[in-house]
Amino acid sequence: MPVFLTLNIVIMRPTLFLKYSVLLLATASLAACGSDSPDAAAGGRGGPGGGRGRGGPEITPVEIAVVERVTMANTSLVTGLLEPIRTVSVNAQLGGALLEVRAEEGTRVRAGQLLAQVDARELEAQVRAAEAALTFADATAKRSAELFEKQIVTAAENERDQSALASARATVSQLRTRLEFARIESPIDGVVTARFVQSGDIVSANTRLFTVSDLSTLVVRLPVSELEVSQLRTGATVDLSVDALAGAKFPGRIRRIFPTADSLTRLVPVEVAITGNSTSVLRPGYTVRATLSLDTKNDALVVPTRAVLGASGARSVFVIRDGLAERRAVRVGADVDGRLEVFAGLNSGDTVIVAGNSLVREGGQVRIVDPLAPDAPSRAADATAVPDTEAAIRAPSADSARLARVTQ
């Protein structure tokens, strides 16, 4: 066997022999580099300077906030529907055929403006007949009075003629009033919000023809808890947001607070009015969310809502102490603009975790990072000395490239 190898080496060309020798030496060098001691490997990845190595503890990046005392306004969010301040149903007072209808939904009308006309030709004839009878009764009563003064007729005959005159006048007045009912007029200034008839329809007395609404002022009736209504005052400003207008904000004022609460829900209606130019873009029926300002509390201890974990009755937060996460049970109030009032469990100045708290464990190490900070990765790398794994991966590739160049 040694003779066979010697023959192979002898018959090789000098240049080929040199290439194989260099290749064997380079392979041996790489093997020596990869066989570092376990202690060195541990120091490079999981040693004291590592962030998440196999041998070192895991460090969780988190965002923090400081517990502070502020002036906190207690508010209540209530939902309701916009309504016109006044809506009137226009009904027919006289039966007959509708000769014309002059208004439809969206028509702006003034008080006394003609909306529709009922056919009243028969009634007009009755009025003319009654007026003729009134003329005759008037002449008869005058003649009877003259004769009574001359004692030609008796007092009873004179009274009969005077009574006939009064009856004729009443008949004419009644028929004229009914004739006026043939004109369907708007009772208020406003907008026609509903029309229920068309020209040519036969209507009877009390048939609903139109709905006219006063849109100069819009109101929303809010059901408020009996525990909160005592903190509201007539004339107070209310912030309103409208879902149909992408949450646009409008100012409103409490117009009135109803004197009684609903016997079933124990809620008290509170009417909020919106006036001015705001009504031009709002429509009855829009959903409105009202933020009612209740009491204001000074020196309230607050914490961001997202810092609090757990369900009601088991709320807790993570507090950072000496670089470690410590879980604390807390008792908090209602959410007000993304903040919770703390009643127990925290002190002013405590540092709580607001992001990354779902990944933190009791006693775990944390690394504080700025929210959305562009230079946070560089600072994080400096703070924890996380090994450059990409450089470690690229190193063998560079050695292989040098080896390839040598062998060529």
- Provide the pLDDT for residue 194: 96
- pLDDT tens-digit readout, 208-244: 999 999 999 999 999 999 888 888 999 999 999 999 9
What does each C-alpha distance from 67 to 186, 328, 341, 348, 369 come to in angstroms?
61, 13, 10, 5, 17
Between CA 324 and CA 308 the distance in angstroms is 17
- Provide the pLDDT for residue 2: 43
Q: Cβ–Cβ contacts within 10 Å for residue 2, how many?
A: 6
- Provide the pLDDT for residue 352: 85
- pLDDT tens-digit readout, 89-98: 999 999 999 9
- Provide the pLDDT for residue 220: 95
Q: Are residues 29 and 60 in the same domain?
A: no
- Provide the pLDDT for residue 300: 81
Residue ranges in the chain modelled with pLDDT below 70? 1-57, 372-408
Position 74, amino acid: N
Q: Which of 209, 240, 257 is the last residue of a domain?
A: 209
Q: How many domains is the chain built from?
A: 4
- pLDDT tens-digit readout, 125-162: 999 999 999 999 999 999 999 999 988 889 999 999 99
- Provide the pLDDT for residue 10: 38
- Provide the pLDDT for residue 321: 82
178 located within any domain:
yes
Q: Are residues 233 and 292 in the same domain?
A: yes
Rg (CA), the chain: 47
* Structural domain boundaries enclosing 260: 76-83+214-296
Q: Which of 296, 316, 339 is the last residue of a domain?
A: 296
Are the beta carbons of 128 and 149 closer than 8 angstroms? no
Q: Are residues 201 and 99 in the same domain?
A: yes
Q: Are residues 313 and 243 in the same domain?
A: no
Is the entire prediction scored with pTM above 0.75? no
Q: Are residues 404 and 372 in the same domain?
A: yes
Identify the sign of the CA torsion 79, 82, 88, 90: negative
Identify the sign of the CA torsion 244, 245, 249, 251: negative
Q: Are residues 337 and 270 in the same domain?
A: no
302 located within any domain:
no
